[in-house]
Amino acid sequence: MPLTRISLGTAWRPAEFAQLSALFHECLVAEFDVPSADRFQFIERAADEQRIYDPHYLSEGRSARFVLFHIFAGKPRSRAQKQGLYRRLCA
């Protein structure tokens, strides 16, 4: 049972939370073999001054709509599974 957290800035509207939640869970089901009913997520929205990050680190740039996905997985996942998840999330 992975426990997941989706951290957002104020640029995200509450109406978009369900879409992000569903997308993230679909990726976990497809790439991490998580059962479809195994969904435990927390969605957090923080003020911009509470989100401290380098907008250019390993990236061409991050906007105020930058999303951080935290995954606390019970069992280890292979490198291929992790890469598949990252690819699917960014597609």
What's the distance, Cα to Cα, between the start and end of the chain in Å? 24
Counting Cα atoms < 13 Å in the Cβ hemisphere of 76 gives 2
Hey, what domains does the chain have and what are their CATH numbers?
Answer: 3-90 (3.30.429.10)
Rounded CA separation 67/75 (Å)? 24
Which parts of the chain are beta strand (E)? Answer: 3-8, 40-45, 68-72
Rounded CA separation 71/78 (Å)? 14
pLDDT in tens, 13-23: 999 999 999 99
Query: What phi and psi values does residue 50 have, to the nearest 5 degrees?
Result: -95, -5
Query: What's the whole-model pTM score?
Result: 0.86
pLDDT in tens, 24-59: 999 999 999 999 999 999 999 999 899 998 989 988
